[in-house]
Structure 1
Amino acid sequence: MAEFEKMHRAGAFPQELHLELLEGEVFETPPMGDDHVDKLAVLNEELVLKLREKARILCQVPLRTAEETSLPEPDFAVIDRNSYPGGVPHAEQVRLVVEISDTTLAYDRGRKLRVYARNKVPEVWILDVKGKQLEVYRDPQGEDYRSKQTYDEGDEVAPAAFPETPLRWW
C-alpha cells in the first residue's frame, strides 16, 4: 500500500487513469457512465441531507486497511462524525460503505466485498444500477458477510448504524 501511494504521488501512473489497489493488484476502474453519475448524485444528496448531523460522508476517497495489499476506494464511506479526525480514513472507522455498480458488479461483489469483510467494515451497500436493486451486506465474518438482503426500487433502507434514518437510494 505504501509503495502504491508513493508511486502514485511520484506520477508513476498516468493522471487520466483511475486506479485502485486490491489484494496486491492494481486495477484500472472504468470511467463513470451517466447512470453511475446519476446514482452518485442522488445518494450524495440523500446521505448528506439525512446523516450530516451524525456522520461524515466521504465520496470516492481511499480507505486504509489493516492489510498492506489493499487500498479500496468506495463511492461513499460513512463515518461517525465524532470519530473522524480527518485525512484518509481507516476501514475500522467506517460504519457504511456504498458501491455504485453498473459495469463493476462482479468486481464489487467479489474482490472488494472480500476486502471490506476482512477489514470488518460492518455494512456494505452495492447498488446494482442495471438490476435496479440494492444489496445490503452486514455482519462480516472472515472474507464474507453473514447477512445479505436485496431491496427493490421504492424500498427505503436504514443503515444499521443509523436505524432511525431510512434512506431513498433509487
Structure 2
Amino acid sequence: MITTTQEIAHFSIEDYHQMIAAGILSERRVELLDGLIWELPAEGTEHTYFEENLAKSLERLTEGRAYVRENKPITLSNSEPEPDIVIPKLPRSQYLEHHPFPTDILLLIEVSKSTLERDTSVKKRIYARENIPEYWVVDVAGRKLIVYRSPALEDYQQKIEFSSIETISPLAFADVEIAITQIFSI
C-alpha cells in the first residue's frame, strides 16, 4: 500500500504582492497569514457598526498623537493581514512607501463575530510572534473586549476580558480611557 501526504503551498510576501499586481486576487477579499491566503468574510452590519464606533472614538481621543487606519494591510514577516483597526506611529506620510511594519504598530484591533476563532488563535499567534505590544479582539456576539498584552514567542502572556460595564486604556495612551459600552452603543 502506498501512502502519500499532501503539501500545502506557502507564499512569501513577495509572491503575494506579485499575485496582487498581476490581478490574480483582484476579485477576492483575502489576506496572507503565515504564508497562506485566507478568504475574508463579508462584514456584517453589527461588525461594521461597532468597528466604526471604536475607530471614531480612537480617532477623537488620539488626535494629533496617532493615526487610526481601518481595514488596511500591515506587513509582517510572512503575513499581510488586514486588521479592522490599526494605530501605527506617526508620521502618516511614511506609509506612502510601505504598509506599517510590526515596529510601527502601537495597537491592533480585530472586530470579531464569524472570525472569533481565527482572531483568537491564528492571528493572535502571528501578532505575538511579531511582538505587537497590544492586541484587542472585540467579541461582537459576547459583547466584550478581549485584550492581549506582553507578547513572548508565539503567544501573549496577559489576557484580560472586559465586560460592557468596564473601561480600558491602551498601553500607548495611558491617559485615554474608553468605556466598553461606547464600542457597543447604538
Range of TM-score over shorter length: over 0.9
> Which residue number in structure 1 is paired with residue 125 of structure 2?
114
| CA-CA distance at 1:82 after TM superposition | 4.3
1:61-89 C-alpha deviation (Å, 9 max, x unpaired) = 11111x2x211111111122248622311
Q: 2:84: which partner in 1?
A: 75
TM-superposed deviation, 1:40? 1.4
Deviation of the 1:94 alpha carbon: 0.1
**Size of the alignment, in residue pairs?**
167
Q: In structure 2, how many angstroms separate the alpha carbons of the residues matched to 1:52 and 1:2?
A: 34
**Residue 28 of structure 1 pairs with residue 39 of structure 2:** yes
**Counterpart check, 1:150 vs 2:158:** no
- Residue 47 of structure 1: aligned partner: 58
CA contact (8 A) 2:69 2:85 kept: yes
CA RMSD of aligned residues (A): 1.3
Mind listing any 5+ residue stretches in structure 1 that lack a counterpart? none
- SS of residue matched to 2:95: coil
Q: Structure 2: how far apart are the matches of 1:134 and 1:7?
A: 35
Asked if 1:7 corresponds to 2:16, the answer is: no
Give the alignment partner of residue 19 of structure 1, picking from 30, 47, 54. Answer: 30
Amino acid at match of 1:113: K
Aligned counterparts of 1:160 and 1:21: Cα–Cα separation in 2: 27
Q: Distance in 1 between matches of 2:93 and 2:129?
A: 21
Q: TM-score, normalised by structure 2?
A: 0.86
Which one of 160, 166, 169 corresponds to residue 171 of structure 2? 160
Q: Percent identity?
A: 30
1:158 and 1:147 mapped to 2: Cα distance?
15
Shift of 1:105: 0.3
Rg larger in 1 or in 2? 2
Cα deviation code 1:105-129 (max 9, x no counterpart): 0000111111100100000000000
- Check conservation: 1:84, 1:93, Cα contact below 8 A: no
| Range 104-113 or range 84-93, more displaced | 84-93
Q: Which among 107, 123, 148 is matched to residue 137 of structure 1?
A: 148
Deviation per residue, 1:110-154 (Å, 9 max, x gap): 111111001000000000000111000001000000111000113
Structure 2 residues without counterparts, runs of 5 or longer: 1-12
